[in-house]
Chains A and B, each alone.
Chain A
Amino acid sequence: MNHDTTKSQKPAISHLFWWFLFANGGGLAALVLPVQILVQGVLGPLGVVHVVDRHYDTWINVLGNPIVKLYLLALISLAFFHFAHRLRYFLVDLGVPAARTLPAQVIFYGGAVVVTAVTIWVLLTTAPISFA
């Protein structure tokens, strides 16, 4: 059917954009999230090892590092674009067709944008940038 091929030839730029965020968020979370949860969420609170966030001075010192700030921003922001995409299709799979609609997209990806903005604000206001 010819009218279908002309339609599919249009490059799906927006699709590419969201897919890029989805794939990289999922990849970054896959590489670093388990170890971060294990160390900061389990071993640290149990006292098995000393972890930076157990004391104010070490935590604020690490949080002031610009590389750490960029890392945390990339991790949290990209991961939430991944989560937004996954959760939307999770709802579709559960039988909620409304999750396909434009308002649902605005809510889910908008949520990731909000989390990104809040993360930037927290990272910039919590610890002053220091290279020490």
Chain B
Amino acid sequence: MTEGDEAAASTGTAPRVYKPEMPRGWWLRRRHYFLYMVREFTAVPMAAWLLWLLVEIQRAANGPKGYYPAASPAFIVFSIICLGFATYHSVTFLSLAGVIIHLRFMGKPVPPRAIVATMFGLWLVASVVIAAVLIGFAR
């Protein structure tokens, strides 16, 4: 920035702000943009499924006679759709750990690939534990 520019910027009453305008449907133009928006959208089906879980928990308040778990084909289809989005969230979120987390071990930086591999290992362990509880305490 030259002196003249700085002077011009400071004399104006309000700073000129650059407002980028995105055309409608910008995210449909490239596969990469589209996948980014899919990642952001995963929140909607995951929220819907967790709200259903809350309903299923609340239904237990109806007592042994009034309780019935969801089992309709529509519910299973809904769950399969949510499962797809939730898995996409997991893959993208856990992969990002390699970019976000910076660790040093024995004085050397841990390579991002090792961090991502650890995250996916944690995902596997957590999945086994949750499945063991959900299935192990059933009859």
Contacts and interface: CB of A to CB of B under 8 A. Distances in A.
Chain B binds chain A:
yes
Interface of A: 26-27, 29-42, 44-46, 49-63, 68, 72, 75-76, 79-80, 82-83, 86-87, 89-90, 93-95, 115, 118-119, 122-123, 125-127
B93 to A, nearest CB: 4
Nearest to A3: B10
B89 A30 contact: yes
Interface of B: 22, 24, 27, 37, 40-44, 46-47, 49-51, 53-54, 56-58, 60-61, 63-64, 67, 69-72, 75-76, 78-80, 82-83, 86-87, 89-90, 93-94, 122-123, 126-127, 130-131, 133-135, 137-139
Contacts of B76: 41-42, 45-46
Nearest to A75: B50
Contact of B135 (A49, A75, A79): A49
Most buried by B among A26, A30, A53, A123: A30
Given A31-B126, A86-B40, A90-B41, A57 B46 contact: no
A61 B58 CA distance: 14
Q: Which 10 A-B pairs have the closest CB atoms?
A: A41-B79, A35-B127, A50-B138, A83-B43, A30-B90, A56-B67, A86-B43, A30-B93, A31-B126, A90-B40
Nearest to A23: B100
Contacts of A58: 137-139
B80 A63 contact: no
A126 B58 contact: yes
A87 B43 contact: yes
Given A63-B60, A127-B60, A90 B43 contact: yes
A83 B51 CA distance: 12
B80 A42 contact: yes
Given A37-B86, A61-B137, A93-B40, A45 B79 contact: yes
Contact of B82 (A37, A60, A62): A37
Contacts of B122: 31
Contacts of A52: 133-135, 137-138
Contact of A36 (B27, B71, B134): B134
A27 B123 CA distance: 10
Contacts of B54: 76, 115, 118-119, 122
Most buried by A among B64, B72, B135: B135
A56 B137 contact: no
A50 to B, nearest CB: 4
